[in-house]
């Protein structure tokens, strides 16, 4: 794909070199108050985002996945300052933008833009495409060289639309074309960071591939940085450099793409991945092993104590109910918030008695899946152990690869990674297997 040249009046500024921290989020929270009674007193709060930390480096793509209601979209609106955070800090290129007002955020709107999920409600039906895409120039007082109309037509060409569509209205376009219009509007001022909130979830599969490839091409040509929120694990794997897995307002795991798909550490990540179907004709007769999580997602109004996933986890022990695990880097490039991580040594070896809820959840994991996982884990552990023997560990108390195991990562491609089934139960690992439970734990 060839991107038409930009006009001199709308050049891309590149202050952050590739690899430098562009966005830094620390302890970010958003609680929506629940008010009752005649006096509208606050009776509680929905903890949509409840303390998350991550960084986005210039030029990379961070994917964010999780079940519906986990706080992904709220997080995207917080970092673009479309919502006011309850607590925490958002820094963009070293500048604290957490509580900037409308006037303070106006100059930063050139650098931070958002692509919305619904291509139908995000475009004003009373305005023409030319008016919609040219709105950022009017609001920011930017006059591109050659005029606004010429620049808007160039942007329409960039996203694969005909420049003659300038005077048409949104109802004359399909869903995929409307999403392209939204992308053109987001790119109008050449932003440094683009937050895409499920940009392809409302589109047909064939159109999804076109929009994903378009985003990929634009990133290479224009040097964009993406935060892509999605349900489809296959889409996230295709476009992301790193992936964050959210559950009930918290980040459960943050890892490089290849590490996450080859050896997920958090049980919830493993459960999500088993929902991805395997498009392999050679395995059409093989039974797909899925981890059907017990029950529904707890209410964000009163989240469980300790680890928020312990009510549905098959490895939960007493420490999971009392102590919240911190998001900790267990391997280089892989951070996990879990007391009993998969594919790694136990972080709480003293606690070996499973909860009754964990015993019930473990019944949903088949013995065949456990046996297959055990064989795979042993092979990976032997391979990693041989590598660690050759290379001394840099961290004294946590060797980079010692005591790890993994799962087969060659069967994670799929077309539907929603992570839930029709009853609200989520399902796990894309390779159709689960890790062996710790032998010391009671079953």
Segment 19-47 shows an average pLDDT of: 92
pLDDT score, position 376: 53
Q: Residues 64-78: pLDDT tens digits?
A: 999 888 999 999 999
> Of 383, 376, 419, 425, nearest to 403 (Cα)?
383
Rounded distance between C-alpha atoms, residue 359 and residue 288, angstroms = 22
Do 273 and 233 belong together in one domain? no
Do 273 and 213 belong together in one domain? no
- pLDDT exceeds 60 at position 242: yes
Most distant CA atoms of the chain, gap in Å: 73
Q: Residues 282-294: pLDDT tens digits?
A: 765 555 567 788 8
Q: Which domain holds residue 72?
A: 19-33+45-244
Do 275 and 215 belong together in one domain? no
Specify the CATH number for the domain of residue 102.
3.40.50.300
pLDDT score, position 381: 55
Expressed in angstroms, the distance from the first to the final Cα of the chain is 55
pLDDT score, position 382: 62
Q: How far is CA 237 from the centre of its chain?
A: 10
Do 277 and 177 belong together in one domain? no
Rounded distance between C-alpha atoms, residue 374 and residue 369, angstroms = 9
Bridge-based pairing state of the strands 41-57 and 112-115: unpaired
Instruction: Judge contact between 3 and 218, C-beta under 8 A.
Output: yes
Do 84 and 130 belong together in one domain? yes
Higher pLDDT, 43 or 285: 43
Do 300 and 352 belong together in one domain? yes
Token reading at 86: 């309850």
Token reading at 432: 């159709």
Band of the pLDDT at 370, cuts 50, 70, 90? low
E strand or H helix at 154, and its extent? Answer: helix 148-158
- pLDDT exceeds 70 at position 180: yes
Q: CA angle 418-420-426, nearest 5°? A: 125
- The 8-class DSSP code of residue 70 comes to S
Do 291 and 381 belong together in one domain? yes
Do 310 and 381 belong together in one domain? yes
Band of the pLDDT at 8, cuts 50, 70, 90? very low
Token reading at 442: 């009671």
Band of the pLDDT at 166, cuts 50, 70, 90? very high
Segment 257-274 shows an average pLDDT of: 90
- pLDDT exceeds 70 at position 234: yes
Strands (E), 296-385: 328-331, 334-336
> Of 97, 93, 105, nearest to 13 (Cα)?
93
> Of 431, 433, 436, nearest to 410 (Cα)?
431
Q: What percent of the chain has pLDDT over 70?
A: 76
Segment 214-224 shows an average pLDDT of: 89
In the numeric block, the tokens 């070996």 are attached to 352
Q: Residues 119-135: pLDDT tens digits?
A: 889 999 999 999 999 99
Q: Residues 300-325: pLDDT tens digits?
A: 999 999 999 999 998 899 999 999 99
pLDDT score, position 285: 55
- pLDDT exceeds 50 at position 440: no
Which residue stretches of 223-308 are H helix? 233-239, 257-262, 267-273
User: What angle, 0 to 180 degrees and rounded to 10, lies between the N-to-C axes of helices 148-158 and 129-140?
Assistant: 120
Q: How far is CA 134 from the centre of its chain?
A: 30
Do 207 and 272 belong together in one domain? no
Lowest-pLDDT range of 293-297, 379-383, 405-409: 405-409
pLDDT score, position 414: 39
Which of 370, 390, 410 lies at the terminal end of a domain, its last residue? 390
- pLDDT exceeds 90 at position 392: no
Band of the pLDDT at 350, cuts 50, 70, 90? confident
> Of 241, 242, 229, 282, nearest to 417 (Cα)?
229
- pLDDT exceeds 60 at position 81: yes
Q: Supply the mean pLDDT for the chain.
A: 80
Which of 350, 365, 390 lies at the terminal end of a domain, its last residue? 390
Asked whether residue 426 is domain-assigned, the answer is no
- Give the three-state DSSP class for 263: coil
Segment 1-15 shows an average pLDDT of: 44
Lowest-pLDDT range of 14-28, 101-115, 190-204, 254-268: 14-28
How long a stretch of residues is the chain?
443
pLDDT score, position 353: 87
Buried-exposed string 121-151: b where 16+ CB fall within 10 A, e elsewhere: ebbeeeebbbebbbebbeeeebebeeebeeb
Rounded to whole angstroms, what are the CA distances from 189 to 95, 110, 143, 148, 303? 20, 5, 11, 12, 40
Do 171 and 302 belong together in one domain? no
Do 190 and 152 belong together in one domain? yes
Q: What is the pTM of this model?
A: 0.77
> Of 118, 129, 227, 124, nearest to 179 (Cα)?
118
State how many domains the chain has. 2
Rounded distance between C-alpha atoms, residue 273 and residue 406, angstroms = 14
Band of the pLDDT at 431, cuts 50, 70, 90? very low
Segment 187-192 shows an average pLDDT of: 92
Do 186 and 131 belong together in one domain? yes
Segment 353-381 shows an average pLDDT of: 65
Instruction: Judge contact between 226 and 219, C-beta under 8 A.
Output: yes
Asked whether residue 406 is domain-assigned, the answer is no
Higher pLDDT, 443 or 320: 320
Rounded to whole angstroms, what are the CA distances from 177 to 172, 181, 195, 334? 9, 6, 19, 37
């Amino acid at each position: 794909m060839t991107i038409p040249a930009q006009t001199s009046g709308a050049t891309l500024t590149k202050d952050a070199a590739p690899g430098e921290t562009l966005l830094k989020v620390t302890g970010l929270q958003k609680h929506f108050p629940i008010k009752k009674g005649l006096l509208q007193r606050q009776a509680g709060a929905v903890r949509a985002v409840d303390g998350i930390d991550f960084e986005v480096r210039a030029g990379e793509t961070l994917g964010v996945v999780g079940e519906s209601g986990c706080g992904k979209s709220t997080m995207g609106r917080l970092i673009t300052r479309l919502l006011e955070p309850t607590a925490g800090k958002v820094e963009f290129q070293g500048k604290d933008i957490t509580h900037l007002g409308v006037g303070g955020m106006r100059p930063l709107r050139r650098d931070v833009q958002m692509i919305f999920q619904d291509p139908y409600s995000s475009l004003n039906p009373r305005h023409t495409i030319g008016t919609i895409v040219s709105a950022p120039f009017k609001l920011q007082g930017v006059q591109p060289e050659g005029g606004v109309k010429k620049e808007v037509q160039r942007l329409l060409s960039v996203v694969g639309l005909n420049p003659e569509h300038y005077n048409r209205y949104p109802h004359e376009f399909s869903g995929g074309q409307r999403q392209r219009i939204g992308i053109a509007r987001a790119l109008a001022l050449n932003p440094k960071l683009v937050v895409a909130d499920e940009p392809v979830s409302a589109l047909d599969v064939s159109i999804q591939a076109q929009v994903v490839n378009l985003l990929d091409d634009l990133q290479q040509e224009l040097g964009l940085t993406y935060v892509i929120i999605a349900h489809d694990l296959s889409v996230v794997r295709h476009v992301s450099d790193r992936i964050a897995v959210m559950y009930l307002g918290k980040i459960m795991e943050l890892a490089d793409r290849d590490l996450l798909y080859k050896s997920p550490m958090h049980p919830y990540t493993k459960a999500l991945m088993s929902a991805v179907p395997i498009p392999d004709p050679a395995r059409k007769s093989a039974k797909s092993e899925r981890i059907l999580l017990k029950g529904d997602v707890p209410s964000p109004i009163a989240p469980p104590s300790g680890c928020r996933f312990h009510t549905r986890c098959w490895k939960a022990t007493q420490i999971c109910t009392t102590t919240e695990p911190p998001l900790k880097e267990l391997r280089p490039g892989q951070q996990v918030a879990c007391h009993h991580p998969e594919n790694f040594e136990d972080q709480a070896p003293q606690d070996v008695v499973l909860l009754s809820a964990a015993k019930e959840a473990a019944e949903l994991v088949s013995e065949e899946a456990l046996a297959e996982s055990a064989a795979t884990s042993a092979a990976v552990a032997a391979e990693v152990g041989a590598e660690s023997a050759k290379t001394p560990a840099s961290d004294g108390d946590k060797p980079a690869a010692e005591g790890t195991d993994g799962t087969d990562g060659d069967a994670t491609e799929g077309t539907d990674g929603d992570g839930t089934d029709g009853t609200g139960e989520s399902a796990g690992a894309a390779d159709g297997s689960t890790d062996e439970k710790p032998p010391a734990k009671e079953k």
